[in-house]
Amino acid sequence: MNDPTPVNAAAIRVDLQLVADMVEPGSRVLDIGCGEGLLLDYLGRFKQVDGRGIELSMAGVRAAVACGLSVIQGDADTDLQTYPPGAFDYVILSHTLQATRDPRTLLCHMLRIGRRAIVSFPNFGYWRVRLALLLTGRMPVTKTLTYQWYDTPNIHLCTIRDFTLLCREEGIAIEKAISLDSRGTARFDGGRRLSNLLGEQAVFLLRRT
Amino acid sequence: MTVQDSSGGIADLSSDLRFEIGTDDPLRLDCGIDLAPVTIAYRTYGRLNADKSNAILICHALTGDHHVANTHPITGKSGWWQPMVGPGRILDTDRYFLICSNVLGGCMGSTGPLSIDPASGRPWCLKFPGITIADMVRAQTRLIDHLGIDQLFCVIGGSMGGMQVLEWAAHHPQRVFSAIPIATAARHSAQNIAFNEVSRQAILADPNFLGGDYPLHGVKPSRGLAVARMAAHITYLSETALHRKFGRNLAGRDHFTYGFDADFQVESYLRHQGSTFVERFDANSYLFITRAMDYFDLAAESDGVLANAFARTPVRFCVVSFTSDWLFPTRESRALVHALNAVAANVSFVEIESDKGHDAFLLDEPDFHATLSGFIDSAAEHRGLGRRFFR
């Protein structure tokens, strides 16, 4: 039998690393849309986190559970209702918000069942996205938005500014906002105007007010 | 206390172990009756470690028994989970101490309707008290006490075995470190009760049933029990699996007989399933055990809220279902998972893609085995039993 451990856990995607850095060691974490559990595995090994995951794809769930992670097959849009309030310290949604049917309700559920929420998403306000649409007149396909319009799971794309406004409307406090440029290295304070133009993706740490 | 075990040999044919519940401390059943004496027949594989933290209880299904990984004494076939058990396998006899007991009400050595009623000196037959899944688990807790084990590292089982797993987790949460309910449900559905009723009526309609007293007259309601098994067996498979295996192929002939012999292979297959089953199973046991399944409903005793049955549970769960299982479909497992989520339990849930129906849990399904292996290894690490070295 082969060792099913899938990851060189020291090397995770840069946006996942940013998310991981926001999590306090030893906390309780729910990762929504956890895929094969790369982030959960990392958090378990390096931050002693009590982690759970929800993943839509059965292949992802099987891989995660086979690695010893506590992951269930489920749908972010429908399966959060059953969790009790305050069950987790952090509820994480990495690059999944834009693919959900009802992001607003989902966000509220995340902050109901978690004390804090960490959300990352591709920024549709990124200058290359704007330019691509302006110059080609076609739906933008970039490094973070890799799909054609007809096969994309991303049905609710937003800009950093859109997201910030939604948080304000819902009375959600933004504790930290980081945006990443195309190299994934330079970081801007996501709260500033410029980040909506220069950030290819964003990571938000949110709290109930 | 010394604990006997069969030293881990998967081909070990040493006789069954027996545990007796004496009349001084009878088993209080859900129906209110105090049952004693009670014999529980069981098998063990592997060795119990010094701090007794490596025990896995395997719960068998309706027509299973405790011959998990040894040659069956009646059929001569290998154990029902033989490929799962052994050194280096998923249920690793080098690491774990495996226990499986024949359920209360069974007919493979544990006290059941064929046992002698001490009041009359004759077999209980239909006078055997009605039993429940909780009663089966009560008898198992006595056995685990007897073995000196405070907490089981894992309780695992499919189908009715999965019901026992859930019963353990719900009512003895401190005694269960991890639980793996497979292809099961927290309550028996109306459809499943209906299937069981068809099976029971087939038995009751057999002229040899004699009001359940057939053991006193040296006969068996074999026709009825065989039909019961045939009906039930269909529910363990799937249309796809049946079609792949038999299609519309004729059985040893090239034209229809225009009679009611087994023209089709699927018919002769079912007849074979029925006739071999009656060799090893008692009809009265079938009645009592199917009834126990029908009565099972964990939510009912918790104000109809399943989550309440698991409030503050410390147990780590791994729930498994199969896509083509129409006896215990995935939605039953999902309802269970939602209830466990509602109490923020530690739960994994995987639906395995398989076209082999309910019986998939007994078969070699690589995704299923990878899931079990990953979950058990991880649970072992959390329990302090170390991480497995992969071969």
Domain A14-125+157-208 has CATH 3.90.650.10: no
Rounded to 5°, angle at Cα B125 from B124 and B127: 65
| Residue B375 with chain A: CB contacts under 8 Å | 65, 68
Query: pLDDT confidence of A143, banded at 50, 70, 90?
Result: confident
Q: What does pTM read for this prediction? A: 0.92
Percentage, residues of chain B above pLDDT 90? 93
In this complex, the residue of A66, A74, A87 whose CB is nearest that of residue B374 is A66
Among B178, B182, B336, B348, pick the best mutation site for testing chain A contact (most A Cβ within 10 A). B348
Q: Which residue of A has its CA nearest to B307?
A: A82
In this complex, the residue of B318, B370, B391 whose CB is nearest that of residue A4 is B370
The mean pLDDT of chain A is 89
With 0-12 / 13-18 / 19 or more C-beta atoms within 10 angstroms meaning exposed / middle / buried, residue B118 is exposed
Q: Residue B123: is the preceding peptide bond cis (ω within 30°)?
A: no
Instruction: Determine the Cα–Cα distance for residues B337 and B317; give it in Å rounded to an integer.
Output: 9
> Where do the structural domains in chain A lie, given as residue ranges?
14-125+157-208
| Residue B353 with chain A: CB contacts under 8 Å | 58
In this complex, the residue of B347, B351, B373 whose CB is nearest that of residue A70 is B347
Q: Cβ distance A200 to A122 under 8 Å?
A: yes
| Residue A76 with chain B: CB contacts under 8 Å | none
Render pLDDT for B358-387 as a digit per residue (tens, 0 to 9): 999 999 999 999 999 999 999 999 999 987
Q: Cβ distance A163 to A121 under 8 Å?
A: yes
In this complex, the residue of A65, A68, A72 whose CB is nearest that of residue B337 is A72
In this prediction, residue A73 carries a pLDDT of 94
For CATH 3.40.50.1820, the residue range(s) in chain B are 17-191+296-382
| Residue A72 with chain B: CB contacts under 8 Å | 319, 337, 341, 347-349
Measured on CA atoms in the order A10, A16, A22, A27, is the torsion positive or negative? negative
According to CATH, what is the number of the domain B200-291? 1.10.1740.110
Q: Is the CB of B316 inside 8 Å of chain A's CB atoms?
A: yes
Query: pLDDT confidence of A189, banded at 50, 70, 90?
Result: low
Q: What is the ipTM of this complex?
A: 0.86
In this prediction, residue B14 carries a pLDDT of 53
**Residue contact B342–A84, C-beta within 8 A:** yes
Mean pLDDT score, A59-63: 92
Q: Is the CB of B389 inside 8 Å of chain A's CB atoms?
A: no
Owner of token pair 């034209």: B255
**Residue contact B375–A84, C-beta within 8 A:** no
**Residue contact B350–A73, C-beta within 8 A:** yes
In this prediction, residue A13 carries a pLDDT of 81
Specify the amino acid at residue A59. Answer: A
B74-81, Cβ contacts within 8 angstroms, sequence gap of 24 or more? B74/B279, B74/B280, B75/B276, B75/B279, B75/B280, B79/B10, B80/B362, B81/B362
Query: pLDDT confidence of A5, banded at 50, 70, 90?
Result: very low
The parts of chain B modelled with pLDDT lower than 70 are: 1-14, 388-391
Specify the amino acid at residue B263. Answer: D
In this prediction, residue A10 carries a pLDDT of 55
In this prediction, residue B391 carries a pLDDT of 36
Percentage, residues of chain A above pLDDT 90? 75
| CATH class for the region spanning B17-191+296-382 | alpha beta
In this prediction, residue B16 carries a pLDDT of 87
| Residue B371 with chain A: CB contacts under 8 Å | 62, 65-66
Render pLDDT for A105-141 as a digit per residue (tens, 0 to 9): 999 999 999 999 999 999 999 999 999 999 999 999 9
- Check pLDDT > 90 for residue A191: no
Instruction: Determine the Cα–Cα distance for residues A56 and A157; give it in Å rounded to an integer.
Output: 19
With 0-12 / 13-18 / 19 or more C-beta atoms within 10 angstroms meaning exposed / middle / buried, residue A38 is buried
Q: How far is A101 from chain B (nearest CA, A)?
A: 20
Q: Which residue of B has its CA nearest to A70?
A: B348
Distance of CA B80 to the CA centre of its chain: 10
Residues of B with catalytic roles: 159, 325, 358
